[in-house]
Structure 1
């Protein structure tokens, strides 16, 4: 079973129920416009984010094609999360979606374009490798109550777990436990890269701590893996300005780090962006749960693992570092 089918089965199963948050759906109070170089293609792309109608959620517009920011449209890709519909692809969406989810922008239209009008594939600008640029832009324009096309406000829902959920492969795992609030704990382990080693970070991921402690954490990579990634046609736009790079023998090549555990915090940033894809009709995507992950990366990366949800065996895909 493909990743999207497995996650959709999880989303629609008895494991999840949708309950009110006691809040109304929100959108941007103005338009955001940013452009910049992308990570993998190295091209420049431009993004305009417009206020959206309540109940319509977050969605991309590319060459007049609308692609919802939903797990239904996730496709497998290397080193980023990719949405695809009708042959059009939006890559590296996780940082932007992480910021929108954490800052409570439930509904918006994300218009994106490449400088090459013939492209059927486009990436979200990468900036410094964190979500800082998006958070700052959201803060600048502010947010407001979203109204539907009839002028009515809409209640905001959130997914709640009815029982614990667990998926694993070897020493990599993700677990989620029912809770009244969002809480996330993330661990990584790079035993062959001593400067990173084993790290853990915990946070109430959707409160004010996101902006202070998560959004500014940058993408990281291992120096000894760079040549291999380049040979695969990836990270053409990568540089010491948009990622922190660590060598197994020499340590960090472009210090200082913003936090001692910045790599682990960035994994939390990515995870929030990926789990935001559970959102539907302007609801919250990240489940009201205590989520614990260890050595797990983006949902769009693939290694098959078997899980049992409500006595149904499904295939879910994760990347083991």
Structure 2
């Protein structure tokens, strides 16, 4: 399986050592410290608010806000919020890390350069080790689709094992316009084609966002800013279709909240964090739409498990 972690090596994975960084939150503008720590097999990805002493599992059913980012909260402690989790989640999924504790001393993951590349760099610096448990794999069995105001996202079964994705966007700004990208999301493809794609915004929206208490930490150092046909960042774009690639990066991060790598095909048009989360909720709500092939994954507050020895063969 050529998904986030190939099936012939599909063991759970964690970091060799702890590693951290300090940055600002894109929306809060506040300084925040993030430390990625190793975790035991079966832990999953856990965000730990060190300032509150509260753990929040990185799961689709903990998502509480999708305005311009994906934010999760603790089930019984709504004050324990962690915003902008999608880029670090994409980096963990893209490098095959299944178990880690992410310690954070504030309410938002640092934005760094606006992409997943700095988080991939941190993971590479820390190193990773395989654990003696199978990594969870969810196979999509039938089509699940969510639509809203001309936008849609869907998951479909795939003829081959792995995770494939196709995404298109359409913006009125001529610097962005219509773009599309499709790929088989392997670890190598993630690193080469998605990790360094940065978040972006329109110049005319910046004042509105800040008036609404958002984008307080935004700058040309951590986001692409577009004004009509112009890209205002002095260095320009990292690639001509960086916009749609960043949107697909968000998809990878948001779908990582399934708690397992997906074996199937994603197709979307004008997707966003809200639709990505609704897609996972719709899939898990229909038990006939998916099956757990390996490992275990928490669903609806309980743990669904399928031992490797009893797992059915992939179609």
Which TM-score bucket, shorter chain as reference?
Answer: 0.7 to 0.9
Q: Distance in 1 between matches of 2:223 and 2:156?
A: 32
Q: Residues 61-116 of structure 1: CA distance to partner in whole angstroms, max 9, x if unpaired?
A: 112211100112110242111011112101111100110011011000111113xx
Q: Distance in 1 between matches of 2:111 and 2:84?
A: 8
Q: For 1:154, what is the secondary structure of its paired residue?
A: strand
Tell me which of 13, 21, 31 is aligned to 2:7: 21
Contact 1:76 1:301 in 2 (8 A): no
1:67 aligns to 2:53 (yes or no): no
1:177 aligns to 2:135 (yes or no): no
Q: 1:140 to 1:209 in 2, by over 3 A?
A: same
The match for 2:117 is 132
By how many angstroms is 1:290 displaced?
1.1
1:79 aligns to 2:68 (yes or no): yes
By how many angstroms is 1:167 displaced?
1.7
Q: 1:269 to 1:302 in 2, by over 3 A?
A: closer
Residues 117-266 of structure 1 aligned to structure 2 (within 5 Å): 122-146=107-131, 153-179=132-158, 180-190=161-171, 192-248=172-228, 250-254=229-233, 255-266=235-246
By how many angstroms is 1:27 displaced?
0.5
* Structure 2: runs of 5 or more not aligned: 1-5, 289-315
By how many angstroms is 1:311 displaced?
11
Q: For 1:25, what is the secondary structure of its paired residue?
A: strand
The match for 2:291 is none
1:290 aligns to 2:253 (yes or no): no
Q: 1:303 to 1:59 in 2, by over 3 A?
A: closer
- Per the normalisation by structure 2, the TM-score is 0.81
Task: Count matched residues.
Answer: 272
Q: Residues 116-156 of structure 1: CA distance to partner in whole angstroms, max 9, x if unpaired?
A: xxxxxx1101011011110011111211023xxxxxx2111
1:57 aligns to 2:44 (yes or no): yes
Q: Distance in 2 between matches of 1:141 and 1:265?
A: 26
Q: 1:68 to 1:126 in 2, by over 3 A?
A: same
Tell me which protein shows more helix as a share of its residues.
2
Q: Distance in 2 between matches of 1:261 and 1:48?
A: 31
Moved more, 72-81 or 98-107: 72-81
Q: For 2:136, what is the secondary structure of its paired residue?
A: strand
- Per the normalisation by structure 1, the TM-score is 0.80
The CA RMSD over aligned residues, in Å, is 2.3
By how many angstroms is 1:206 displaced?
3.2
Contact 1:82 1:300 in 2 (8 A): no
Q: 1:225 to 1:26 in 2, by over 3 A?
A: same
